[in-house]
């Protein structure tokens, strides 16, 4: 099946009837494999529309059918269900599901799912303030994703690692993550990079304020071009702290005013800001 485009959010309400129709046809023909595919697509549409309750119900239905038939989508569905349960903050309930997704990924030889489940597991342990387990899970996620050639998942895991290292001011960890992220930018295409703000924070912690400022300016231009207002708010927060540290508090104040006018809450370099995969894909 084709990869979902990053525009799934705006398009989800339009395409949602299609997987519902496919599910009806699959049920009429008793085609369990196609019904599972349709349910998975439906869950991704609901997720893109932030209808997590509906997405969870569809995923549970898909998981029951996939488990009964030992369908190859079982690890992926289990991972999505764990992420759906945990992301609002109910990580205690999500942990067993994510661990099961890892076990199923190993059983079905799907290392990409193992990597993504480890990444989400890292966020779970981070939310529970278990920094050691979080770093271990995120490191495993980055290594596994890189080994499978999943560059976006690798960068997401590394960005989460970066947030932890930046918050703890661990320069050795920041330097290692920076080297790995910069090496990956060649493969991703540096011109359209959703991780420029992460790179800027790493530059900042490592003392390269000029390099950090340049990256933030590029991130600012990119976020305006793509109308990514969530990223824009974070850029204003990071840029304000950078300006203070570089001896320009008046400019920083202007940045904070602009940021607050955009509906932002106060923030600073060093707060742990988990990232996750923002694109939904059927692999």
Q: Quick one: pLDDT band at residue 242, thresholds 50, 70, 90? A: low
Q: Distances from the Cα of 48 to the Cαs of 9, 55, 61, 226, 240, in angstroms? A: 5, 9, 18, 18, 31
CA distance 34 to 29: 10
Q: What's the maximum distance between 2 C-alpha atoms anywhere in the chain?
A: 69
Report the chain's mean pLDDT, rounded to a whole number: 77
> What pLDDT is attached to residue 198?
86
95 SS3 class: helix
Which of 92-106, 152-166, 184-198, 251-265 has the weakest average pLDDT?
Answer: 251-265
- Mean pLDDT throughout 7-34? 54
Residues 167-194: tens digit of each pLDDT:
888 999 999 999 998 888 755 554 456 7
Residues 27-78: tens digit of each pLDDT:
555 567 878 888 888 888 888 778 889 899 999 999 999 999 999 999 999 9
- Most confident of the ranges 145-154, 234-243, 244-253: 145-154
Alpha helices in the chain (DSSP H): 8-15, 17-28, 32-48, 52-69, 74-86, 91-107, 111-127, 131-148, 151-168, 171-188, 196-205, 209-225, 229-245, 249-261
Share of the chain above pLDDT 70, in %: 69
């Amino acid at each position: 099946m084709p990869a979902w485009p990053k525009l799934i959010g705006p398009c989800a309400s339009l395409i949602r009837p299609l997987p519902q129709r496919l599910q009806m046809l699959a049920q009429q023909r008793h085609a369990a494999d196609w019904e599972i595919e349709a349910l998975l697509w439906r869950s991704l549409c609901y997720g893109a529309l932030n209808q997590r309750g509906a997405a969870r119900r569809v995923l549970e239905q898909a998981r029951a059918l996939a488990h009964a038939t030992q369908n190859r989508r079982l690890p992926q569905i289990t991972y999505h269900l764990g992420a759906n349960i945990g992301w609002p903050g109910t990580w205690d309930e999500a942990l067993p599901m994510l661990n099961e997704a890892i076990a199923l990924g190993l059983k079905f030889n799907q290392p990409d799912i193992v990597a993504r489940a480890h990444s989400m597991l890292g966020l779970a342990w981070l939310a529970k303030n278990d920094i050691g387990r979080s770093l271990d899970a995120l490191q495993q996620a980055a290594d596994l994703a890189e080994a499978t050639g999943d560059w976006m998942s690798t960068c997401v895991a590394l960005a989460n690692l970066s947030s932890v290292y930046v918050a703890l001011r661990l320069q050795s960890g920041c330097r290692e993550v920076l080297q790995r992220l910069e090496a990956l930018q060649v493969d991703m295409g540096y011109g359209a990079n959703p991780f420029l703000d992460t790179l800027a924070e790493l530059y900042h912690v490592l003392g390269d304020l000029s390099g950090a400022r340049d990256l933030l300016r590029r991130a600012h231009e990119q976020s305006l071009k793509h109308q990514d207002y969530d990223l824009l708010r974070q850029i204003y927060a990071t840029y304000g702290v950078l300006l203070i540290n570089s001896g320009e508090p008046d400019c920083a104040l202007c940045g904070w005013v602009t940021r607050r006018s955009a509906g932002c809450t106060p923030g600073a370099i060093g707060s742990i800001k988990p990232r996750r995969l923002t694109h939904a894909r059927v692999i």
